[in-house]
Structure 1
Amino acid sequence: MPRADFYLIDKPRFREQPLLLVCELAKRAFSADLPTLVLARDMAQAEALDDLLWSFDPDEYLPHQIAGMDEDEDEAPILIAAPDADAPARPLLINLRDAAPAGSFERVLEVVPADPAARGPLRERWKHYQSLGFDVKKYDM
């Protein structure tokens, strides 16, 4: 059964820098050997995440790249896609966009902003995933 996991930003370090939570989720996926596609909201966010992944864990390199930048992108365990990039779906998606992702995937991770006013679109996506038969769960981070 496909899964949708919603991660609610709660800890101060994630409130200050929400992309750190994305790095943490990508690190867990990499450790579990799950090829991951991160759907960035825009190219600026994709580049910020790319920069952060370089320095996120001083003890472990997280192999990643931005889609469309290199021919070897299929090799990268963590692929970051801006909206105009043509990136194939992977078993695990981390969605940072306002719309639910299309395509086939086994699991999607949604990062929920700390600001309750910004959570409206995520409530809609929660219902959307439920209507598709996803197993939906919530985690406080």
Structure 2
Amino acid sequence: MARADFYLIDKPRFREEPLLLVCELARKAFDANLYTLVLARDGAQAEALDDLLWSFDPDAYIPHQIAGSDDDEDEAVVLIAAPGSDAALRPLVINLRDAAVEGTFDRVLEVVPADPAARAPLRERWKHYQSRGFDVKKHDM
């Protein structure tokens, strides 16, 4: 059964820099040897995440790259896709966009903003994944 996990940003360090949570999720995926696709909201967010994955932890190296920037993207455990790139879905998808992820994958991680006003679209996504038969869970981060 496919899973959808919603990570609610709560801790101050994630409130200040939400992409740090994405880095932590990517590290867990890498440690579990899960090929991951991060669906970035836009090109600027993709670049920011790319930079942060290099620097967020001096002891962690997570092979990653932005989709379309290299021919060897199959080698990168974490692939970051800006809208408009034609990156294929992977078993694990971290979704930073407004729309639910469509297609075939094992698990999706949805990062929920700290601002309650920004959470309305996520309620719709929760219902969407439930209607598709996903096992849906919430995690306070």
Identify the TM-score tier after normalising by the shorter chain.
Answer: over 0.9
Residue 34 of structure 1: how far off its partner (Å):
0.3
- Once the two structures are aligned, what percentage of the paired residues are identical? 82
Hey, what does 1:46 align to over in structure 2?
46
Hey, what does 1:18 align to over in structure 2?
18
Hey, what does 1:8 align to over in structure 2?
8
Hey, what does 2:74 align to over in structure 1?
74
2:136 counterpart SS class? strand
Cα separation, 1, equivalents of 2:71 and 2:104: 23
Quote the RMSD (CA, aligned, Å).
0.4
**TM-score, normalised by the number of residues in structure 2:** 0.99
* 1:90-109 mapped onto 2 (5 Å cutoff): 90-109=90-109
Cα separation, 2, equivalents of 1:105 and 1:65: 20
Please list the CA deviations of residues 51-79 of structure 1 after superposition, one character each: whole Å capped at 9, or x if unmatched.
00000110121110000000000110000
Residue 95 of structure 1: how far off its partner (Å):
0.2
Q: 5+ residue gaps in structure 2? A: none
Please list the CA deviations of residues 96-122 of structure 1 after superposition, one character each: whole Å capped at 9, or x if unmatched.
000011211000000000000000000
1:136 counterpart SS class? strand
Determine whether 1:111 maps to 2:111.
Answer: yes
Cα separation, 2, equivalents of 1:84 and 1:75: 21
**TM-score, normalised by the number of residues in structure 1:** 0.99
Determine whether 1:128 maps to 2:128.
Answer: yes
Cα separation, 2, equivalents of 1:102 and 1:137: 18
Structure 1 segments of 4 or more deviating over 3 A? none
